[in-house]
Chain A
Amino acid sequence: MLTKRIIACLDVHAGRVVKGVQFVDLVDAGDPATQAARHAREGADEIVLLDITATHEGRATLLDTVRRTAKELFVPFCVGGGIRTADDAAQVFEAGADKVSINSAALANPALIDAIGRSFGAQAVVVAIDARRDPEASDPVRDAQVFVSGGRKPAGRRVVEWARVAEQRGAGEILLPSMDSDGTRAGFDCELTAAVSEAVGIPVIASGGAGTVAHFADVFGRGKADAALAASIFHFGISSARSLKEELAQAGVPVRLPC
């Protein structure tokens, strides 16, 4: 049976894993390679590394970090942040990533999705959509809006519609961070995740709001998510992928338990 994926997310700044709220008060949370290996050992199904600096000067550091992290990692490895061109993507693949996550660059230039897919396959292209409910709309979920610039600026597109476009252009998966639930630890936005998951035929990765095991069970059930991203919940040993999965298995969610 196909299992639900638990994806460990590492936010990386200048070669270190960091944790903060809304990119402020960053706390050092270790070495990316060490952290990724630990998560994989504890049963994370996949690792996402997000370069939150994503500056031009930081590219060499990032590529070095990707290379070091990929070296001993034998689960799928996705890298995002600052990938603007097919060349940027090629460098990240060369360094050992299996997938790239693209966000604002895909909005600015949707043909980037096709371009990366043509060279590396659709399975290697994850389109990330920063989503926020539209409280003004008659249906805040159906009319949820895409945001850019770290969730500060509306992109003028509806989330569901953009997800469909990304799929048609050859995206392999949709990563769906909810700006409303990010950092709240009050649960994923299950309604929004379900709306996107039902609208596309590719996997949808829920993100934002994880605080308890029940939140994961909820987003895999009601939220129809194929995978869920966990970041802060894993840091500083608060909870491991292993304990999360053991509890999910008891709750009847199909998961891969680590050996």
Chain B
Amino acid sequence: MFSGEQTKYLYLEKGRKLLVYSLIIAMLLMIWLPYVWMILTSLQKELDLYNYPPPILPKKLTLESYKFVLKDEKFVNSLYHSAIVSFTTTAICLTAGTLGAYAIARLRFPFRNTLYFSLMILYMLPGIAMLIPLLIIIRKLGLIDTHLGIILALSAFLLPLVMWFLKGLFESVPLDLEKAARVDGCTRLQSLSRVILPISSPGIAVTAIFAILTSWNELMFAKVLGVFNIRLVTPAISDWITPYDIHFSELSAGSIIASAPLLVIVLILQRYIIQGLTEGAIK
């Protein structure tokens, strides 16, 4: 039989396990329930939403709201515009960012550390402090309400973060590998493209996801810089939120369409993303 001390210990262990698992279950419910609730909302008819008591498990599921939303030309176009903008922004950030990050990671030049440090400040700068002049500049360039206008603004906004991530990534590639390539006659750019980039490609993929996600999710710049012709998906959804008449079923359907694809990608690549996120924040 157990002695008193041992029993006490066992009880403590049991209590601790119980506490740990109940906290975890609470956390999982807290995270997932709102999104699941939105999915359920999107699968019901608008009128059925206003029953009392609210149907916890809806009796009749329907794709009507999705059909309705996907027939809305403005919304479908906004998805298309958002895709173009976020992919091009990411491409620009990765290209410029790779070159710049390589320089910061591997080359010696004056003010290197200052530059590296200012990247973080640049990223944290409140967008509102640049938005009015940006609007004026982009209008002067004749790029208001065009893809390019939004892409340029978002690229500048995202570039510091992308460079910050890539610099950390490139630094973690062993210097010897690059030296070996240089001895074998590679130029610096070749060693970048043939040694560093292939090795750090998983990290670059994660950085790309960050950039796509951030530019896809951004609201303020998108709203101000694209008004009529180029309405991106976030402002398009925000336009549906009016003070008097909100169609929650359709709004939810649109929100699911706008968020689910990227969410799935993030969940699939979770291991690398968690690594990238936490290293970026901690390094």
Please say whether chains A and B are actual partners in one complex.
no
